[in-house]
Structure 1
Amino acid sequence: MKSIKVFAPATVANVVCGYDVLGFAVNAPGDEVTMNLVDKPGVRISKITGDDGRLPLDASRNTVSASVQHYLDHVKRNDVGVEIELHKKMPIGSGLGSSSASTVAGLFAINTLLDDLLTVKELVPFAMKGEELACGYGHADNVAPALLGGFVLIRSYNPLDIIKLPHPDNLHAAIVFPEVDVPTRDARQMIRSKVFLKDAVTQWGNIAGLVSGLFMKDYDLIGRSMTDVLVEPTRSILIPDFYKLKEIALAEGALSFGISGSGPSVFAFTKEEETAAKIVAKLQQHLNKLNIGSQTYVSAVNNQGPKVIG
């Protein structure tokens, strides 16, 4: 095989109370990478679409090409020539793992072209290198679910320990991306470096409750565990009318409501697709009243992760 086209999904990271340790993949949106093996060694980006000129064509500065280069260095295949086309099918800076989806698509593509020299799980550290380039910190709560699919817990970063979690089959996410700018680097810098022990205890209990609810397929336990006392109080300031949006979602039947990643996207969990569709419509209607454009998505948890589409 000399050419491949891969789709990789968007992700919701943190999942309210699980800052940097929880994330899940969704069916849409996502990014696509077309990759060709060529005779001339090295990694090059030949084309980027859908980014409005915001992403670098310089292979050393782009998360996709840089991660692919790390991969080739590791497997000792620097004799390989790679040309990459990146097709952005999701908004940049949305809090839905835009850089992660691109990076994962590229890594999955090169690994497939080279006959799966590594397992998908072994690709996670290379994807984390892409996140480090994108936002200054190599976290895995976007890239791990994008690669593995499903709901993922990062139990430890050193050593890296990733666990795929079960979840109720009908669990759906209602996602709204308000079209305002919240750079990930800036959002991370707002977070307190020290927290009160009583707040940490509350957060630990909620994370344990959420994971237990996923295993038990207990919607009520999932919902009441999704409270964030550490990060949301600060990051919510950056999201227009966050608490009003939360009020609307819960009134429409949401199990929970919170920020996706570093924002500005927000999401709600529901027991079924119909309720999720009603929620995104109501939230979009409210944002329209504030003269804020938005994009909406309704999705079950994506258990597959990246896939070959051509």
Structure 2
Amino acid sequence: MKSIKALAPATVANVSCGFDIFGFAVEAPADEVIITLTSTPGVVIKQITGDGGRLPLHASSNTAGVAVEAFLESIGSEQGAEIVLHKKLPLGSGMGSSAASSAAALVAINHLYDNPLSREQLLPFAMEAERIACGSAHADNVAPSLLGGFVLIRGYAPLDVAKIPTPPNLYCTLVHPHLELKTEDSRRVLKASIPMKDAITQWGNIAGLVVGLMKPDYGLIMRSLHDVVAEPIRAALIPGFENIKAESLRNGALGCGISGSGPTIFSLSTEYSIAERVGKALQQQFESMKLKSDVFVSKINDAGARVVA
């Protein structure tokens, strides 16, 4: 039977000011999915590694399985699929773990059928998988994981996404403390409404970040990487966040914020050496609080999920 392996990268959602509308892909870590077509209808999760036995093996309860089921139904296939999932992204990390699994699975199954659908056409299937994972069919992780680069999710009715050009010398530092935050818990603490003054500030920062990326204007990017909506509330869920953010800026980062719903912290820098230095400094901050952490440094990943074998 035909088999294929695909990788899909971690992502940073929100990107400070862009709550629920911005996301970008990084180069590592990345989930790995191997899919084999079968003659028997139905999707089977054959094996999952790297999750400590926590993820469901039932296809309809697993993001990779849900995505593949939706794809096969959409093209009217009478074949089935077996899935092997190697989790490289930590669960509940704020790096788009569930999105990476579904994105890799979709790119693999689409390739096995000679790519009948575009990456954009695969997005709704990945979004349905996100609904299984966290109760909301959002695209700010799955869109950059599938499409690569820095992505704007302008709206959902209809789905409207656009890639934003990014400077070639923009580097991301991800520091993942060994904590876990569930997306639904991080969303539950948010307010249902915000003052008009905060909304205006946030709109200005969103527009400023887009312009700063496209020009590019690093000073404008730096001034725009501020969140007055979610971060002030979610910061309390991450030990020492304010000191960590200040340390990032002291070491030369353009800005620092919470990746997705946390607890992973992201920083953007103009040089690899700065991004590395920021990672070491933030790791030391977590060590001072008796917390281990992992550091990943990369450019913005413009390719997204890809077939590797």
TM-score, length-scaled by structure 1 = 0.98
Q: Is the 8 A contact 2:187 2:261 kept in 1?
A: yes
**Following TM superposition, by how much is the alpha carbon of 1:212 offset from its aligned partner in structure 2, in angstroms?**
0.5
SS state of the match for residue 73, structure 2?
helix
Specify the alignment match of 2:235 in structure 1. Answer: 236
| Aligned 1:93-108 pairs, distance under 5 A | 93-108=92-107
Specify the alignment match of 2:36 in structure 1. Answer: 36
**Following TM superposition, by how much is the alpha carbon of 1:308 offset from its aligned partner in structure 2, in angstroms?**
1.2
Number of residues paired by the alignment? 309
**Following TM superposition, by how much is the alpha carbon of 1:189 offset from its aligned partner in structure 2, in angstroms?**
1.0
**Following TM superposition, by how much is the alpha carbon of 1:302 offset from its aligned partner in structure 2, in angstroms?**
0.2
Deviation per residue, 1:66-121 (Å, 9 max, x gap): 111111111111x1110000000121111000000000000111111011111111
CA distance in 1, matches of 2:137, 2:249: 33
**Following TM superposition, by how much is the alpha carbon of 1:133 offset from its aligned partner in structure 2, in angstroms?**
0.6
Query: Is residue 268 of structure 1 aligned with residue 274 of structure 2?
Result: no
SS state of the match for residue 72, structure 2?
helix
CA distance in 1, matches of 2:118, 2:13: 22
Q: Is the 8 A contact 2:10 2:97 kept in 1?
A: yes
- Letter of the 1:49 partner, please give it: T
| Aligned 1:57-96 pairs, distance under 5 A | 57-77=57-77, 79-96=78-95
CA distance in 1, matches of 2:114, 2:7: 18
Specify the alignment match of 1:290 in structure 2. Answer: 289
Q: Is the 8 A contact 2:127 2:138 kept in 1?
A: yes
Specify the alignment match of 1:135 in structure 2. Answer: 134
SS state of the match for residue 59, structure 2?
coil
Deviation per residue, 1:149-177 (Å, 9 max, x gap): 00100111111100010011000011100
Specify the alignment match of 1:188 in structure 2. Answer: 187
SS state of the match for residue 242, structure 2?
helix
**Following TM superposition, by how much is the alpha carbon of 1:39 offset from its aligned partner in structure 2, in angstroms?**
1.4
Deviation per residue, 1:20-53 (Å, 9 max, x gap): 1000000000100000011111100000000000
| Aligned 1:155-234 pairs, distance under 5 A | 155-234=154-233
Query: Is residue 304 of structure 1 aligned with residue 303 of structure 2?
Result: yes
SS state of the match for residue 205, structure 2?
helix
CA distance in 1, matches of 2:233, 2:143: 25
Specify the alignment match of 1:111 in structure 2. Answer: 110
SS state of the match for residue 192, structure 1?
coil
- Letter of the 1:176 partner, please give it: V
CA distance in 2, matches of 1:138, 1:16: 20
Query: Is residue 245 of structure 1 aligned with residue 268 of structure 2?
Result: no
CA distance in 2, matches of 1:30, 1:72: 24
C-alpha RMSD over aligned residues? 0.8
Tell me, which stretches of 5 or more residues in structure 2 are unaligned? none
- Letter of the 1:13 partner, please give it: A
CA distance in 1, matches of 2:57, 2:227: 38
Q: Is the 8 A contact 2:43 2:59 kept in 1?
A: yes
SS state of the match for residue 52, structure 1?
coil
CA distance in 1, matches of 2:199, 2:121: 31
Query: Is residue 145 of structure 1 aligned with residue 168 of structure 2?
Result: no
Q: What is the percent sequence identity of the aligned residues?
A: 52
Specify the alignment match of 1:16 in structure 2. Answer: 16
**Following TM superposition, by how much is the alpha carbon of 1:267 offset from its aligned partner in structure 2, in angstroms?**
0.8
Specify the alignment match of 1:26 in structure 2. Answer: 26
CA distance in 1, matches of 2:63, 2:281: 35
Q: Is the 8 A contact 2:91 2:180 kept in 1?
A: no
TM-score, length-scaled by structure 2 = 0.99
CA distance in 2, matches of 1:286, 1:208: 32
Deviation per residue, 1:211-241 (Å, 9 max, x gap): 0001111111011001100100111110110
CA distance in 1, matches of 2:158, 2:66: 23
SS state of the match for residue 139, structure 1?
coil
- Letter of the 1:147 partner, please give it: L
CA distance in 2, matches of 1:157, 1:20: 11
**Following TM superposition, by how much is the alpha carbon of 1:289 offset from its aligned partner in structure 2, in angstroms?**
1.2
CA distance in 1, matches of 2:17, 2:114: 38
